[in-house]
């Protein structure tokens, strides 16, 4: 009897284990193994490859240097042939370009593309002629994709405004969260959160505000630091943990010192075991003005934390204001400070929002999201 299994090759050109990579992991792990078998090709990274291995997902290291990386194209063609790949699911620009090239050299197997950003990196190119040329490349890639998945309505709007309508080939499917990895975080032994706060270098009885974020401009961590300065006098027991790495570390540390809150903020760098920081914290904040999705919001919700996010971008698809989270006005540190102070002073509101948020996170559980992605695969394969 012929097998019904299809082999899917996931391609991703960056492996730092942040939101996009966690989404790839969640969907690949959530597939029905009797129908789809995943293989991931990406540059090697300890954290990402370790998580994939733990989920039993086969990995193949490839460099994905640039859109002209003939070595990676050859490597992809080799995987397609050796693993009898039926479909490619490409994430991010370089991955998409190289995947489409490999597909063309391997019998035009269908390519599904996920777009993760409201404004892709090429939109920051200063030379208008080069920027226009890149836009043309993206439009060409769009035309070759059998299906295009957008992680939020904001991403769809941004892509189609810039590159043209995708039509029925496009669909919004959110990122997924591995709830099982986070749900136990709030169920610790009595005093466990206090111990974790102490281990992280904070007072055991402090009110801890957490963010997980790359330290880059678009995440607007300056807004969070300014909010910390706004509430310092009225709430001297409020502390802030910024977990993540990036090029703006020194600039953000200087801003904290300039505003007199360097003793209230800890920059923890990249944190591999995020369950501990979720468990130690009292509120989660996402300060980005144009977050494409916000998978950390879902992880915080699954962990039982109340969430505050800017009223824009992907979080609009996740949060129902006042029910499972709170919004603040984008770029407004005073409004963010007021929302933090509100949750700090109202334990019952914190509890209610956290409870409803945990239920909301279930809607984005990896198997539910993977089932929707599988429907896209079915459609793409049926048309091939």
Task: Tell whether 353 is covered by a domain.
Answer: yes
Task: Tell whether 318 is covered by a domain.
Answer: yes
The DSSP output letter for 216 is: S
Q: Are residues 155 and 254 in the same domain?
A: no
Q: Are residues 143 and 74 in the same domain?
A: yes
Q: Are residues 169 and 213 in the same domain?
A: no
What local confidence, expressed as pLDDT, does residue 310 receive?
98
What local confidence, expressed as pLDDT, does residue 189 receive?
53
Task: Tell whether 220 is covered by a domain.
Answer: yes
The answer to whether 98 and 79 are in contact (CB under 8 A) is: no
Q: Are residues 81 and 122 in the same domain?
A: yes
Q: Are residues 38 and 131 in the same domain?
A: yes
Q: Along the 384 residues of the chain, how does pLDDT read in single tens digits?
A: 345 899 999 999 999 888 899 999 999 999 999 999 999 999 999 999 999 999 999 999 999 999 999 999 999 999 999 999 999 999 999 999 999 999 999 999 999 999 999 999 899 999 999 999 999 999 999 999 999 999 999 999 999 999 999 999 999 999 998 887 786 655 555 567 888 899 899 999 999 999 999 999 999 999 999 999 999 999 999 999 999 999 999 999 999 999 999 999 999 998 877 888 999 999 999 999 989 999 999 999 999 999 999 999 999 999 999 999 999 999 999 999 999 999 999 999 999 999 999 999 999 999 999 999 999 999 999 998
Task: Tell whether 1 is covered by a domain.
Answer: no
CATH number of the domain enclosing 11:
3.40.50.2000
**Which DSSP string corresponds to 271-308?**
-S-HHHHHHH-SEEEE--SS-S--HHHHHHHHTT--EE
Q: Are residues 207 and 144 in the same domain?
A: no
Task: Tell whether 378 is covered by a domain.
Answer: yes
**Which DSSP string corresponds to 222-258?**
HHHHHHHHHHTTT-TTEEEEEEB--TTHHHHHHHHHH
> Which token pair is 289?
């003005």
Task: Tell whether 100 is covered by a domain.
Answer: yes
What local confidence, expressed as pLDDT, does residue 1 receive?
32
Q: Are residues 168 and 183 in the same domain?
A: no
Give the C-alpha separation, 209 to 381, whole Å.
Answer: 46
Task: Tell whether 90 is covered by a domain.
Answer: yes
Q: Are residues 331 and 372 in the same domain?
A: no
What local confidence, expressed as pLDDT, does residue 2 receive?
43
> Would you give the end-to-end CA distance of the chain in angstroms?
22
Give the structural domain span for 216.
179-362
Q: Are residues 119 and 153 in the same domain?
A: yes
Overall number of domains in the chain: 2
What local confidence, expressed as pLDDT, does residue 18 receive?
86
The answer to whether 175 and 270 are in contact (CB under 8 A) is: no
Q: Are residues 327 and 274 in the same domain?
A: yes
Q: Are residues 163 and 271 in the same domain?
A: no
What local confidence, expressed as pLDDT, does residue 181 receive?
79
What local confidence, expressed as pLDDT, does residue 286 receive?
98
What local confidence, expressed as pLDDT, does residue 273 receive?
79
Give the C-alpha separation, 112 to 139, whole Å.
Answer: 15
Q: Are residues 275 and 316 in the same domain?
A: yes
Beta sheet of 36-42, edge-to-edge order: 58-61, 36-42, 6-12, 87-91, 111-115, 147-150, 170-172
């Amino acid at each position: 009897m012929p097998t019904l299994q299809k082999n899917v090759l996931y391609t991703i050109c960056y492996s730092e284990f942040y939101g996009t990579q966690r989404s790839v992991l969640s969907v690949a792990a959530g597939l029905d193994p009797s129908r789809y078998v995943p293989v991931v090709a990406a540059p090697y990274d300890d954290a990402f490859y370790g998580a994939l291995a733990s989920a039993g997902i086969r990995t193949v290291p490839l460099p994905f240097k640039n859109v002209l990386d003939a070595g990676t194209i050859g490597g992809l063609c080799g995987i397609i042939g050796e693993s009898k790949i039926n479909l490619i699911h490409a994430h991010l620009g370089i991955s998409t370009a190289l995947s489409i090239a490999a597909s063309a050299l391997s019998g035009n197997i269908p390519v599904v593309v996920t777009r993760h950003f409201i404004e892709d990196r090429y939109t920051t190119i200063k030379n208008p002629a080069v920027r226009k040329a890149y836009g043309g490349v993206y439009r060409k890639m769009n035309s070759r994709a059998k299906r295009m998945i957008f992680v939020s309505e904001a991403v769809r709007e941004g892509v189609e405004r810039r590159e043209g309508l995708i039509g029925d080939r496009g669909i919004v499917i959110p990122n997924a969260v591995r709830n099982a990895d986070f749900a136990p975080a709030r169920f610790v032994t009595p005093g466990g959160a206090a111990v974790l706060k102490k281990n992280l270098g904070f007072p055991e009885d402090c009110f801890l505000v957490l963010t997980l974020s790359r330290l880059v401009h678009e995440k607007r961590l300056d807004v969070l630091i300014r909010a910390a300065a706004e509430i310092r006098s009225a709430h001297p027991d409020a502390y802030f943990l910024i977990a993540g790495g990036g090029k703006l570390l020194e600039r953000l540390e200087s801003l904290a010192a300039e505003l007199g809150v360097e003793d209230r903020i800890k920059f923890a760098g990249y944190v591999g075991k995020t369950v501990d920081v979720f468990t130690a914290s009292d509120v989660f904040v996402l300060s980005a003005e144009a977050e494409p999705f916000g998978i950390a919001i879902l992880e915080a919700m699954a962990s039982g934390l109340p969430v505050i996010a800017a009223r824009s971008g992907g979080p609009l698809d996740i949060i129902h204001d006042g029910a499972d989270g709170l919004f603040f006005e984008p770029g407004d540190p005073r409004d963010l400070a007021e929302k933090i102070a509100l949750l700090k002073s109202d334990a019952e509101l914190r509890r209610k929002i956290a409870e409803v948020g945990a239920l909301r996170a279930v809607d984005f559980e990896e198997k539910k999201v993977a089932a929707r992605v599988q429907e896209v695969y079915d459609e793409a394969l049926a048309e091939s």
